[in-house]
Amino acid sequence: MTRRPGSKLHPVALIGRERHQEAVDRLRRSYDAIAPSDTVRLAKKTSNLFRQRAAASGPGLDVSGLDGVIGIDPAGRTADVQGMCTYEHLVEETLRHGLIPFVVPQLKTITLGGAVTGLGIESTSFRNGLPHESVLEMDIFTGSGEVVTASQAGPDGEGEHADLFRTFPNSYGSLGYATRLRIRLEPVPAYAALRHVRFHEADKLAAAIAEIVDSRAWDGIRVDGMDGVAFAPGEYYLTLATWSQSPEVGGRQQEPSDYTGMDVYYRSIQEREIDVLTVHDYLWRWDTDWFWCSGAFGAQDPRIRRFWPRRWRRSDVYMKLLGLDRRFGIADRLDRRAGRPQRERVIQDVEVPVERIGDFLDWFDAEVGMRPVWLCPLVATGDWPTYPLEAGRTYINAGFWGTVHVGPDAPGAPRNRAIEAKVHELGGHKSLYSDAFYDKDTFDRLYDGPNLAAVKHRYDPDDRFITLYDKAVARR
Ligand SMILES: Cc1cc2nc3c(=O)[nH]c(=O)nc-3n(C[C@H](O)[C@H](O)[C@H](O)COP(=O)(O)OP(=O)(O)OC[C@H]3O[C@@H](n4cnc5c(N)ncnc54)[C@H](O)[C@@H]3O)c2cc1C
């Protein structure tokens, strides 16, 4: 396996304050052009939301020019970033300074604003929490058509608009749109050395995770990133990443691996105990094959992969293919023709307390039977009412993205509903980027409905934005 030539750096493209202000002015003008009786929504090209939404009726908010990095302060280790800036672009800019955001979600086109308002997670989340927890302040375009700067409470007391700041994560644009975010960055060297550690029992896996969260080390070696994959009952792996100045594996220099070519990253987890990647390739290791989901399009079959252009081995390309499949019902038609039972799409990320992950995986195997499952430990560092994980407690994010043949009940989403119920029985939480089925009372209890309503009323008194419940459950 050889490393492809060093990834090409585009010219530095910081946009600066002036151009940022022009884009905000454009956004405001587009807001003014929307009739007061119409609801306001984003006009944005990419999305990593999975739930289906009602088609937009009007022109939407013009967010063009809000997709850049405004500036980076290498000494202070912060960046000012526009709300619709993708992590792909953000990381390209910060890596020039040997810095990365505290948490970099795995899919290249996830935007900073999307990850903060719709949550995100990655392998540094066991020590850095979720992306919104390293935001220092945000400019938010509210339903009243004004931009307010909201910041976290500091040692001297409440930050400005602290209620909006705290309630914003997991509000999915129902409280406003972040136009600028100041985030913290952390230093990284050039390489990530990986250990793929196998576990046969879920309890031992959970104990190892708890130990690493406490000690930040495994077998005496520092752990900077930790995620895992459950391939099958009794086959669990933790991938432990250690930042490294040189491409060393097991004490020997080695060519960093490249999983954007013919080799597929997730398979390497079962095949090798140690590995090394550039930090750049480590951050995007899951994007190339959208975890394992590219297999559904044949992209992992060597005969097809050989001809699949490298630049199209990316999650946003598969997302578009999936959109076409849904639009034209291709998989459903093929199933009907082959006499297979109708499919239910089961695309969810859930958080379960670490000590219950074995229970969840056993139940999931018996009731849903879909594998692999991605596992990512996280510890929230603060209290966030719209996604109330217990601060300081270790949870495991379990992510599963696929279909199950359930037959004629498929439109009623029986597996998705069962997962929703199980997660809450185990004391967990469910992300809202995909289908949700809660009744209003349960939803309000889980996501602090009264607080959401009070904050929305303060910043969007005329209800120009759709409520979180209407977005997440009623699919508006
Ligand atoms: C199959 C799948 C797997 C996923 N896996 C992961 C994962 O492993 N790790 C992870 O971190 N996340 C994952 N996600 C979730 C993803 O991070 C969230 O859906 C995120 O919100 C997407 O961000 P986006 O930038 O694409 O936003 P969009 O999809 O464009 O928008 C998401 C929501 O945020 C709102 N929004 C967008 N921009 C802003 C803004 N600037 N201010 C306020 N609101 C805004 C939109 O109105 C919308 O309601 C996954 C999603 C899918 C479908």
The whole-number pLDDT of residue 2 equals 37
- 335-345 pLDDT per residue, tens: 778 788 888 99
Q: Which atom of ligand 1 is nearest to the CA of 63?
A: 41
What confidence category does residue 388 fall into, taking pLDDT thresholds of 50, 70 and 90? confident
CB proximity list for 195: less than 8 A, separation 6 or greater: 218, 221, 239, 240, 242, 273, 274
pLDDT at residue 314, as a whole number = 92
State the residue for tokens 């349960």: 442
Pocket test for ligand 1, best of 433, 455, 460, 467 (most atoms within 8 A of CB): 433
DSSP H helical segments within 61-193, as ranges?
Answer: 87-95, 112-117, 125-128, 162-167
- Closest residue by Cα to atom 53, ligand 1, is 50
Please name the residue whose Cα sits nearest to atom 36 of ligand 1: 114
Residue with tokens 């398979």: 267
Asked if 242 contacts 193 with a C-beta cutoff of 8 angstroms, the reply is yes
Q: Which of 20, 39, 42 gets mutated to test ligand 1 (max ligand atoms within 8 A of its CB)? A: 42
The pLDDT value recorded for residue 56 is 60
Instruction: List the one residue out of 132, 73, 81, 124 whose CA is nearest residue 103.
Output: 124
Q: Closest Cα partner for 393 from 425, 429, 349, 353?
A: 353
Q: Which of 50-54, 58-62, 119-123, 459-463 has the lowest mean pLDDT?
A: 50-54
pLDDT of residue 40: 84
DSSP 340-373: PPPEEEEEEEEEEEGGGHHHHHHHHHHHT----E
Atom of ligand 1 nearest to the CA of 131: 11
The terminus-to-terminus CA distance of the chain in angstroms comes to: 47
Burial 50-69 (b: 16+ CB within 10 A, else e): beeeeeeeeebbbbebbbbb
Q: Is the CB of 377 under 6 A from ligand 1?
A: no
How much is the pLDDT for 186?
98
User: pLDDT, tens digit, for every residue of 396-414?
Assistant: 999 999 899 988 999 999 9
pLDDT at 4 over 60: no
**Closest ligand 1 atom, residue 103 Cα:** 11
- Say if residue 6's pLDDT is above 50: no
